[in-house]
């Protein structure tokens, strides 16, 4: 079975690629700029003032390493999904759809983080950028659902055989 592109196909695919590249860049920049050991320590002290010195330093190290591992996974995943969007692979449509759900839900957590900046490692401006990115994910998620319902994956319709 083959699929034919519609007027929505290329804009949806290219917007998805742009969103994924932007999300990966934001993750890299915000992690490098704001998830430093002193920032993590400050956040942990605010959230758990009862931590002893050794526990605090161990928690800072674990938090720092895990933050970079998470960013590496985000960047690698975004690269694979962006390639899939660029190529129009059907599995990538569904994978992107699944990935956009938590991205869109982060609008709630980012709004909450803006309300309580004392326990955050990032400044309010960086959280606001993440909030905008999560709102973009929400808009893209809605577009994905509309495209899938109206046409099919990547807004392509089935071609009539014969």
Judge whether 103 and 130 are in contact, CB under 8 Å.
no
- Taking the C-alpha atoms of residue 158 and residue 148, their distance in angstroms, rounded to an integer, is 12
Higher pLDDT, 46 or 152: 152
Judge whether 100 and 144 are in contact, CB under 8 Å.
yes
Query: Which pLDDT score is estimated for 39?
Result: 81
Spatial neighbors of 139 by CB under 8 A, at least 6 apart, are none
Spatial neighbors of 136 by CB under 8 A, at least 6 apart, are 19, 22
Give yes or no for residue 70 having a pLDDT over 90.
yes
Query: Which pLDDT score is estimated for 162?
Result: 58
Spatial neighbors of 134 by CB under 8 A, at least 6 apart, are 103, 104, 105, 106, 107, 110
Query: Which pLDDT score is estimated for 12?
Result: 98
pLDDT in tens, 1-12: 689 999 999 999
pLDDT in tens, 77-130: 999 999 999 999 999 999 999 999 999 999 999 999 988 877 777 888 889 999
Give yes or no for residue 154 having a pLDDT over 90.
yes
pLDDT in tens, 17-62: 999 999 999 999 988 888 888 888 888 888 788 888 888 888 888 9
Query: Which pLDDT score is estimated for 139?
Result: 98
């Amino acid at each position: 079975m083959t699929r034919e592109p519609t007027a929505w196909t290329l804009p949806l695919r290219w917007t998805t690629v742009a969103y994924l590249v932007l999300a990966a860049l934001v993750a890299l920049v915000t992690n490098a700029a704001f998830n430093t050991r002193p920032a993590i320590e400050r956040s942990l002290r605010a959230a758990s003032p009862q931590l002893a010195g050794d526990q605090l330093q161990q928690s800072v190290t674990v938090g720092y390493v895990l933050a970079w591992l998470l960013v590496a996974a985000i960047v690698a995943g975004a690269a694979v999904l962006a390639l899939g969007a660029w190529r129009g692979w059907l599995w990538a449509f569904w994978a992107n759809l699944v990935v956009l759900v938590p991205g869109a839900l982060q609008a709630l957590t980012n709004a909450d983080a803006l309300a309580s900046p004392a326990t955050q490692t990032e400044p309010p401006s960086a959280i606001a950028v993440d909030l905008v990115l999560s709102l973009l994910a929400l808009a893209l998620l809605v577009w994905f659902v509309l495209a899938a319902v109206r046409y099919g994956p990547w807004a392509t319709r089935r071609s009539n055989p014969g």
